């Protein structure tokens, strides 16, 4: 039976979602997050392991028994939305081969402009940077990026635990460059947006540090 056809309980789905967001987890931590015992979480993890959706490894931390950390397998990651991935890659390859890289760049810019207009309209009226970050995160979450945000130091961190266009972005990294530019434009000139974790670079998620432009330290003036 295909892994795509495996029906999971709501708690098992939530368990996979927690690991997707937080990375490798211990059964006890998962149990607390779900409001169940560590043993109940462990039983669910064993069932998911039998289905090929999670795997575990031992991690030695000081004295005592090693901790067992549970992480998602590639099959589990595939259960999260990846919008029409095979067709998208075929279209990207066909455009590149038939019309050349410049045509593909024009298409990406067109997509970028369309998304930019939509985000600008959605963020209209959000007066503070925090309000704009919150609203952008809501949009990205609806689009399937499993997005969340939090305050960090004097700025914010926007986290995306899943990429529904990952296959397309792997075939053409212009999509990733495009999204970074879209964020900068949507959040306004008073925001500085930096990608600090990148799924395509081997990280388990994409993360963006957002700070106020005025809060950036200016370089010291040269002496003399």
Q: Residue 218: is its pLDDT beyond 50?
A: no
Instruction: Name 24's Cβ contacts closer than 8 Å, sequence gap at least 6.
Output: 57, 69, 70, 71
- How many alpha carbons fall within 13 Å on the CB side of residue 182? 24
What mean pLDDT is reported for the chain?
83
Of residues 223 and 173, more confidence is placed in 173
Domains and CATH numbers, the chain: 3-77 (1.10.10.10), 85-215 (3.30.1380)
Q: For residue range 114-129, what is the model confidence (pLDDT) as tens digits? A: 888 999 999 999 999 9
Residue 148 structure tokens: 């969340």
Q: Is 193 exposed, middle or buried (0-12, 13-18, 19+ CB in 10 A)?
A: buried
Q: Work out the burial of residue 16: count CB atoms within 10 Å of its CB; fewer than 13 is exposed, 13-18 middle, 19 or more buried.
A: buried
Cα–Cα distance between 205 and 111 in angstroms, integer? 23
pLDDT of residue 3: 44
Q: What is the pLDDT of residues 131-147, one digit of tens each?
A: 999 999 999 998 888 89
pLDDT, position 169: 65
- Could you write out the DSSP letters of every residue in 102-170? HHHHHHHHHHHHHHHHHHHHHHTT--SHHHHHHHHHHHHHHTTS-EEEEEETTEEEEEE---TTHHHHH
* Residue 57 CA: distances (Å) to CA of 24, 54, 93, 143, 211: 9, 10, 38, 32, 37
């Amino acid at each position: 039976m295909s892994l795509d056809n495996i029906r999971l309980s709501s708690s098992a789905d939530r368990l996979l979602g927690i690991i997707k967001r937080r990375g490798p987890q211990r059964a006890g931590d998962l149990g607390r997050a779900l409001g169940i015992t560590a043993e109940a979480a462990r039983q669910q993890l064993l069932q998911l392991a039998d289905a090929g959706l999670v795997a575990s490894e031992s991690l030695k931390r000081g004295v005592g028994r090693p901790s067992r950390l549970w992480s998602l397998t590639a099959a589990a990651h595939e259960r999260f939305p990846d919008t029409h991935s095979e067709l998208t890659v075929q279209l990207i390859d066909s455009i590149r081969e038939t019309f050349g890289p410049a045509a593909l760049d024009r298409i990406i810019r067109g997509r970028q402009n369309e998304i930019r207009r939509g985000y600008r309209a959605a963020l209209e009226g959000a007066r503070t940077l925090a309000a704009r970050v919150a609203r952008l995160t809501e949009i990205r979450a609806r689009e399937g990026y499993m997005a969340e945000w939090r305050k960090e130091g004097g700025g914010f961190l926007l986290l995306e635990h899943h990429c529904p266009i990952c296959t397309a972005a792997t075939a053409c990294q212009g999509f990733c460059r495009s999204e970074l530019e879209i964020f900068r434009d949507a959040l306004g000139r008073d925001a500085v947006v930096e990608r600090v974790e990148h799924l395509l670079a081997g990280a388990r998620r994409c993360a963006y540090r957002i700070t106020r432009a005025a809060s950036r330290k200016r370089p010291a003036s040269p002496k003399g």
